[in-house]
């Protein structure tokens, strides 16, 4: 009898323990890299002060297939997590399974209006924007400096630009580049075009049939005035702007200005090509900056890489932006506690901790001023405000599918299996179906 | 006793049948409903019946047939190469493997890398600047091709598949080869038959059922290849490396058209069933 | 049989070439796992300037956050149970199919053909069923699916193995009064051991490599190695830490390698025995 009692007591204790752990808030994040580091530090700091029932614990999904797994879980009403990662381009897709939130008024001062909108859909706030992604034009300082001073190089540069781009150009500072200046520079630093080039390729284009590559590419047509739809919602991909941009990529690819296997390149391949010291420029995600200038990771080029906003087109200078953030699972069984954490995450203190640990939030100057070790954050905020854009429809339920339809059509043109007309017609038809 | 005996074979297949029913009956029923419904992730529990529309849509979808054609080419090229290579190695290396059986483990190693991770590793191995293959090609020939562009992607992907799964054919074929009694061969040798003649008239006919099974599994597995292709080229430039599995995966998760994806799978299943019945007949006739 | 020494030498050469070519990706991975990040970006060759264990140390250093032994353990359990269960189910059924022609016309082709289905279409229905049965994120739930995935292969291989056995031995035993169970365990099982062992190994390897169901059906408790792998090597913005990725891959090949080595000793032995007996 006594034994039975103690067993029952132990069971009761176990049950109590498991219910109290059930009361924890579970946050689903992205493993690896600074996003995870930032989230861990933030959660640690929060748990230091939070009440027992409000403490957060973290889980992670595989990055490969993350969004598909998340979709399955959310659609099936999983209660395994209360708060989950969210991205601007997927917000429309997941919104039906998520709960809109109201952030404290102070959030506006922390992030600014434009950054908050990266977590909005249909006029409602769905998440706290913890990271901002955009593109930088990376270039080799040493090579460009020589180009800007060496008379022989400049003569060759003029010759090449006339031959390939139809106009005689003189080298200019990368921060003042138009896309033509960039193209001329890329061609100049290409061995196949200019045997004197100290590096094998002038640039690295990410041309794999992958939706994220369409985000990188998008800044180019945008600066020629492109958009997914016009104000009344008609798809406008079959436009002179997209035509010009697609042709420029194709020209550089055909001229050998980008690695041969560029049709299979994405983030990692691009970094490896730049890191090997055999490429002069690349349009690449801001997240690459740290690795490229880290001597233990890229000894060949560390200290020689500079990053500016993407070049200008007739309509100005643009960079794609999207946010990553955290929002509330509609099926969550701990909504009150979860909201407490999200509210805290939207404070200046939380973002300071998050950024210190490596995260990349776009936050107000008042906060970046406290983070002298992260000069890139000031750049991030400034670029986002000056050049950031989101295409019309890029937060809609089918945004991911639109990127995918573009990737399929555009890579077909670059690979030579589709004509430009056919590729644009295909993209136009697919996008019209997806954005109606 | 008589009656009990007649029941025994049925008892023997019962656990397997029960397992299949328990695990598969409900999911299969759900899938059958999905295949005749308009269903997305938002309506998983409330699919709207639409009849055979999904099947019609699949049959009319040019992308489906392209993916099927790509997978067919891929599977034929890869499985024939695996079978021939595996058969050669199994027979040629048999005396060596008989002497030192654990050497087989070295030949089986390639299978032990998960295909998803293999695809990832090839992104490094084939990279023009940091990959070992282009490095040696540049060193010895002064040039290196684009392994994954529109012209070469197919060959590269087939090679990767063959390198990883030839060991499968090798293992099964070697087991069959080594299982043939030496007495039979020696009797033939005494009758004056040469090694090639023994192979052709004794070994190969005896191995035929195993050869058919090996071919079937390598063919089917290559046909539905997903992980390594998906990681390496995705659906390829302009969709040029869309396998049937990638096509269905994208319809399922990306186009959010679950009924369509299930219908496509069922059509594919019906086609492969015909192939299987044919192969089983062939295997049985020769057995 | 007589062995010509020259032929044996030739076989050894062919064996060495086959091992090198087939294992080329693995060799490249192994070498990469001992290179530092800096060396990976500068030296793609098949030699190492400054060997380092940093990648392996890096994996172990974060055991408090991502425990590689946890993922390995999950995979060993799920793949092991899945492979053994598939064999236990398939062996008696295979015997009935071959010797009594029960299920030859429907069960065998149906099960074999399961292999041809793109498994993705089962992911959501099985998710929904598992959710009701509380099997989501459990090792046993994953094991059941891996068993299902490998049944076609296991059944076909064992059917094939039993079909090639001489029926005379069984008939003699039956005349001696042995019942079906005794024949199955004492006569058929030992003779079919090579087929059973190789199907076990292959089922284990295939289960070990499975990715999709591991991704969809687990979240934390039952995450298998293929899914957990990316926790270690993914970097910001879609980057990959190649050195750590290589080390993770090398570690994750060890359990199937060990199991195959052990199992292969049995195959080798019973193959030798079988050839003499038959």
Inter-axis angle of helices A141-149 and A179-188, to 10 degrees?
Answer: 90
Compute φ and ψ for A20, nearest 5 degrees. -70, -35
Inspect the interface and report whether the beta carbons of B102 and C265 lie closer than 8 Å: yes
Q: Are residues C112 and C74 in the same domain?
A: yes
Q: Are residues C221 and C250 in the same domain?
A: yes
Angle at C202 between CA C197 and CA C205, to 5 degrees: 125
Inspect the interface and report whether the beta carbons of C131 and A81 lie closer than 8 Å: no
User: Which of B2, B175, B228, B284 is best to mutate for the C interface (most C CBs within 10 A)?
Assistant: B175
Judged by a CB distance cut-off of 8 A, whether residue C72 touches chain B is no
pLDDT in the model for residue A10: 52
pLDDT in the model for residue A1: 46
Distance from CA of A144 to the nearest CA of C (A): 22
Q: Are residues A117 and A156 in the same domain?
A: no
Question: How far apart are alpha carbons A235 and A225 in whole angstroms?
Answer: 14
Q: Are residues A148 and A201 in the same domain?
A: yes
Question: How far apart are alpha carbons C119 and C123 in whole angstroms?
Answer: 7
Residue A188 resides in a domain: yes
Report the 10 Å Cβ neighbour count for C109.
Answer: 17
Distance from CA of B272 to the nearest CA of C (A): 7
- CA-closest candidate to residue C93, choices C82, C83, C104, C84: C104
C136 neighbors C145 (Cβ within 8 angstroms): no
Nearest beta carbon to residue C219 from set A30, A80, A287: A80
Q: Are residues A67 and A39 in the same domain?
A: yes
Q: Are residues C153 and C188 in the same domain?
A: yes
Residue A5 resides in a domain: no
Residue A404 resides in a domain: yes
* Closest residue on chain A to C221 (Cα): A59
* Closest residue on chain C to A286 (Cα): C237
Q: What is the pLDDT of residues C230-269, one digit of tens each?
A: 899 988 778 899 999 999 999 999 999 988 888 777 666 6
The class that CATH gives domain B70-286 is mainly alpha
Domain CATH for C256? 1.10.3720.10
Distance from CA of C80 to the nearest CA of A (A): 23
Inspect the interface and report whether the beta carbons of B179 and C29 lie closer than 8 Å: no
How many domains does one find in chain C?
2
Q: Are residues A140 and A172 in the same domain?
A: yes
pLDDT in the model for residue C198: 85
C120 neighbors B248 (Cβ within 8 angstroms): yes
User: Which of B124, B157, B237 is best to mutate for the A interface (most A CBs within 10 A)?
Assistant: B237
Inspect the interface and report whether the beta carbons of C42 and A286 lie closer than 8 Å: no
Q: Are residues C35 and C101 in the same domain?
A: no
Residue A392 resides in a domain: no
Distance from CA of C84 to the nearest CA of B (A): 13
Question: How far apart are alpha carbons A206 and A219 in whole angstroms?
Answer: 13
**Chain B residues within an 8 Å CB radius of C102:** 9-10, 12-13
Q: Number of CB pairs < 8 Å for A and C?
A: 103
The residue segments making up the domain with residue A368 are: 24-132+323-386
Query: Which positions 99-138 of C are in contact with B (Cβ < 8 Å)?
Result: 99-100, 102-103, 107-109, 111-113, 115-118, 120-126, 128-129
Q: What is the pLDDT of residues A376-389, one digit of tens each?
A: 888 888 898 899 99
Domain CATH for A368? 3.40.190.10
Distance from CA of B137 to the nearest CA of C (A): 11
Distance from CA of A115 to the nearest CA of B (A): 27
Inspect the interface and report whether the beta carbons of C229 and B268 lie closer than 8 Å: no
* Closest residue on chain A to C37 (Cα): A297
Distance from CA of A233 to the nearest CA of C (A): 31
pLDDT in the model for residue C278: 35
**Chain C residues within an 8 Å CB radius of B103:** 15
User: Which of C95, C105, C106, C118 is best to mutate for the B interface (most B CBs within 10 A)?
Assistant: C118
* pLDDT higher than threshold 60 for residue A45: yes
- CA-closest candidate to residue B253, choices B230, B277, B287, B225: B230
Beta bridge partners, A316, equal A313
Give the residue-averaged pLDDT of A280-289: 94
Q: Give the percent of chain A with pLDDT over 70.
A: 95
* Residue where a domain stops, chosen among A349, A366, A386: A386
pLDDT in the model for residue C273: 56
Where would I find the H helices in B142-193? Answer: 153-179, 182-190
Q: Are residues C104 and C24 in the same domain?
A: no
How many domains does one find in chain A?
2
Interstrand relation of A56-60 and A25-29 (parallel, antiparallel or unpaired): parallel
Q: Are residues C36 and C93 in the same domain?
A: no
pLDDT in the model for residue A6: 56
Q: Are residues A160 and A205 in the same domain?
A: yes
Q: Are residues A116 and A148 in the same domain?
A: no
Question: How far apart are alpha carbons B129 and B137 in whole angstroms?
Answer: 11
Residue A381 resides in a domain: yes
ipTM value, please give it: 0.90
Inspect the interface and report whether the beta carbons of B233 and A413 lie closer than 8 Å: no
Residue A16 resides in a domain: no
Inspect the interface and report whether the beta carbons of B238 and A408 lie closer than 8 Å: yes
pLDDT in the model for residue C3: 63
pLDDT band for position A416 (50/70/90)?
A: very high
pLDDT in the model for residue C166: 87
> Which of the two residues, B94 and C117, has the higher pLDDT score?
B94
Residue A183 resides in a domain: yes
Q: Are residues A49 and A168 in the same domain?
A: no
Query: Which positions 36-55 of B are in contact with A (Cβ < 8 Å)?
Result: 41-42, 44
**Chain B residues within an 8 Å CB radius of A423:** 238
**Chain C residues within an 8 Å CB radius of A37:** none
Nearest beta carbon to residue B8 from set C40, C124, C180: C180
- CA-closest candidate to residue A246, choices A406, A402, A138: A406
**Chain B residues within an 8 Å CB radius of A418:** 238
Q: Taking all residues of chain A, what is their mean pLDDT, rounded to a whole number?
A: 92
- Long-range contacts for C52-61 (Cβ within 8 Å, ≥24 apart)? C54/C243, C55/C243, C55/C244, C55/C246, C55/C247, C56/C247, C56/C251, C58/C232, C58/C244, C58/C247, C59/C232, C59/C244, C59/C247, C59/C248, C59/C251
Q: What is the pLDDT of residues A249-265, one digit of tens each?
A: 999 999 999 999 999 99
Inspect the interface and report whether the beta carbons of B121 and C115 lie closer than 8 Å: no
pLDDT in the model for residue A213: 96
Question: How far apart are alpha carbons B268 and B245 in whole angstroms?
Answer: 10
Q: Are residues C252 and C136 in the same domain?
A: yes
Give the residue-averaged pLDDT of C100-123: 86
Give the residue-averaged pLDDT of A267-289: 94
Q: Give the percent of chain A with pLDDT over 90.
A: 81
pLDDT in the model for residue A15: 46
Q: Give the percent of chain C with pLDDT over 70.
A: 94
Q: Are residues C76 and C32 in the same domain?
A: no
Judged by a CB distance cut-off of 8 A, whether residue A72 touches chain C is yes
Inspect the interface and report whether the beta carbons of B128 and A268 lie closer than 8 Å: no
pLDDT along chain B (287 residues), means of 10: 68 94 93 95 92 95 94 96 97 91 89 91 94 95 92 96 96 88 82 85 89 91 91 91 93 90 91 77 66
Question: How far apart are alpha carbons B167 and B83 in whole angstroms?
Answer: 10
Inspect the interface and report whether the beta carbons of A412 and B144 lie closer than 8 Å: no
Q: What is the CA radius of gyration of chain B?
A: 23
Q: Which chains have 3+ CB pairs within 8 A of B?
A: A, C
The residue segments making up the domain with residue C203 are: 61-277
Q: Are residues A346 and A253 in the same domain?
A: no
Q: What is the pLDDT of residues A206-235, one digit of tens each?
A: 999 999 999 999 999 999 999 999 999 999
**Chain A residues within an 8 Å CB radius of B44:** 75-76
User: What global pTM score does this model have?
Assistant: 0.92
Distance from CA of C169 to the nearest CA of B (A): 16
Question: How far apart are alpha carbons B254 and A148 in whole angstroms?
Answer: 47
Q: Are residues C79 and C202 in the same domain?
A: yes
* Closest residue on chain A to B241 (Cα): A209
Question: How far apart are alpha carbons C225 and C28 in whole angstroms?
Answer: 20
Q: What is the pLDDT of residues A162-213, one digit of tens each?
A: 999 999 999 999 999 999 999 999 999 999 999 999 999 999 999 999 999 9
């Amino acid at each position: 009898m006594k034994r039975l009692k103690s067993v029952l007591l132990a069971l009761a204790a176990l049950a109590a323990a498991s219910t109290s752990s059930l009361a924890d808030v579970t946050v689903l994040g992205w493993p690896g890299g600074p996003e995870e580091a930032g989230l861990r530090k933030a959660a640690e700091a929060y748990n230091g002060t939070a009440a027992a029932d409000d403490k957060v614990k973290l889980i992670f999904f595989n990055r490969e297939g993350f969004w598909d797994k998340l979709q399955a879980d959310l659609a099936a009403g999983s209660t395994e997590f209360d708060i989950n990662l969210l991205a601007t381009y997927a917000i429309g897709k997941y919104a039906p399974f998520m709960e809109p939130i109201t952030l404290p008024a102070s959030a506006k001062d922390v992030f600014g209006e434009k950054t908050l909108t990266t977590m909005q859909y249909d006029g409602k706030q769905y998440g706290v924007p913890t990271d901002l992604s955009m593109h930088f034009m990376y270039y080799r300082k040493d090579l460009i400096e020589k180009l800007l001073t060496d008379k022989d190089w400049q003569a060759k540069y003029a010759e090449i630009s006339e031959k390939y781009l139809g106009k005689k150009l003189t080298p200019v500072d990368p921060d003042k580049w138009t896309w033509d200046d960039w193209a001329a520079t890329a061609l100049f630093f290409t061995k196949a075009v200019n045997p004197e080039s100290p590096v094998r390729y002038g640039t690295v284009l990410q041309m794999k049939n992958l939706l994220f590559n369409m985000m990188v590419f998008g800044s180019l047509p945008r600066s020629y005035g492109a958009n997914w739809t016009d104000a009344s919602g008609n798809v406008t991909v079959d436009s002179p702007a997209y035509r010009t941009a697609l042709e420029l990529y194709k020209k550089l690819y055909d001229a050998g200005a980008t690695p041969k296997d560029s049709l299979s390149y994405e983030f990692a391949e691009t970094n490896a090509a730049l890191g090997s010291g055999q490429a002069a420029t690349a349009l690449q995600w801001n997240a690459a900056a740290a690795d490229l200038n880290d001597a233990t990771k890229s000894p060949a080029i560390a200290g020689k890489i500079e990053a500016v906003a993407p070049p200008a087109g007739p309509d100005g200078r643009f960079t794609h932006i999207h946010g990553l953030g955290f929002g509330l699972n509609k099926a969550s069984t701990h909504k009150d506690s979860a909201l407490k954490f999200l509210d805290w995450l939207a404070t200046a203190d939380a973002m300071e901790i998050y950024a210190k640990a490596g995260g990349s939030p776009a936050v107000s100057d008042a906060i970046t001023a406290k983070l002298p070790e992260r000069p890139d954050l000031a750049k991030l905020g400034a670029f986002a405000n000056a050049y950031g854009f989101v295409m019309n429809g890029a937060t809609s339920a089918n945004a991911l599918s639109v990127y995918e339809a573009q990737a399929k059509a555009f890579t077909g043109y670059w690979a030579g299996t589709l004509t430009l007309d056919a590729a644009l017609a295909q993209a136009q038809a697919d996008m019209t179906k997806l954005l109606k | 006793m008589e009656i009990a005996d007649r029941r025994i074979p049925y008892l023997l297949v019962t656990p397997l049948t029960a397992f299949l029913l328990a695990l598969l009956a409900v999911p299969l029923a759900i899938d059958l409903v999905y295949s005749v419904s308009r269903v997305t992730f938002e309506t998983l529990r409330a699919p709207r019946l639409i009849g055979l529309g999904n099947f019609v849509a699949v049959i009319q979808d040019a992308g489906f047939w392209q993916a099927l054609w790509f997978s067919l080419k891929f599977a034929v090229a890869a499985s024939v190469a695996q079978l021939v290579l595996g058969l050669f190695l199994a027979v040629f290396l048999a005396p060596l493997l008989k002497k030192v059986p654990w050497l087989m483990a070295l030949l089986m190693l390639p299978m032990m890398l998960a295909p998803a991770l293999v695809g990832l590793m090839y992104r490094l191995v084939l990279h023009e600047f940091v990959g070992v293959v282009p490095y040696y090609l540049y060193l010895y020939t002064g040039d290196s091709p684009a392994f994954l562009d529109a012209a070469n992607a197919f060959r590269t992907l087939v090679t990767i598949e063959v390198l990883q799964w030839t060991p499968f054919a090798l293992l099964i074929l070697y087991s069959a080869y080594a299982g043939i009694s030496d007495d039979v061969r020696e009797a033939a040798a005494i009758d004056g038959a040469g090694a090639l003649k023994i192979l052709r008239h004794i070994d190969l006919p005896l191995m035929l059922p195993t050869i058919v099974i090996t071919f079937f599994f390598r063919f089917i597995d290559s046909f539905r290849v997903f992980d390594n292709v998906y990681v390496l080229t995705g659906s390829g430039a302009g969709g040029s490396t869309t396998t049937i599995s990638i096509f269905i995966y994208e319809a399922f998760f990306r186009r959010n058209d679950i009924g369509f994806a299930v219908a496509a799978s069922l059509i594919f299943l019906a086609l492969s069933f015909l192939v299987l019945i044919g192969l089983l007949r062939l295997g049985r006739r020769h057995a | 049989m007589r062995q010509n020494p020259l032929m044996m030498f030739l076989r050894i050469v062919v064996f060495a070439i086959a091992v090198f070519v087939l294992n080329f990706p693995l060799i490249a991975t192994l070498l990469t796992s001992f290179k530092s990040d800096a060396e990976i970006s500068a030296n793609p060759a098949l030699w190492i300037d400054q060997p380092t264990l940093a990648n392996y140390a890096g994996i172990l250093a974060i055991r408090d956050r991502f425990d590689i032994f946890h993922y390995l353990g999950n995979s060993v359990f799920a793949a092991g149970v899945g492979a053994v269960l598939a064999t236990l189910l398939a062996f008696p059924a295979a015997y009935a199919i071959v010797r009594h022609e029960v299920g030859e016309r429907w069960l065998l082709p149906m099960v074999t053909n399961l292999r041809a289905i793109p498994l993705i279409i089962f992911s959501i229905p099985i998710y929904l069923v598992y959710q009701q049965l509380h099997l989501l994120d459990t090792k046993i739930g994953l094991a059941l699916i891996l068993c299902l995935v490998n049944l076609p292969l296991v059944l076909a291989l064992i059917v094939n193995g039993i079909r090639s056995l001489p029926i005379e031995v069984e008939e003699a035993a039956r005349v001696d009064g042995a019942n079906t169970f005794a024949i199955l365990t004492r006569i058929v099982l030992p003779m079919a051991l090579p087929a059973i062992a190789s199907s076990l190994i292959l089922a284990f390897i295939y289960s070990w490599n499975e990715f999709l169901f591991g991704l969809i059906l687990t979240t934390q408790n039952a995450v298998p190695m293929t899914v957990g792998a990316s926790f270690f090597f993914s970097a910001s913005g879609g980057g990959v830490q190649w050195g750590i990725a290589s080390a993770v891959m090398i570690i994750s090949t060890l359990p199937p390698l060990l199991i195959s080595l052990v199992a292969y000793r049995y195959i080798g032995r019973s193959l030798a025995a079988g050839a003499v007996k038959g």
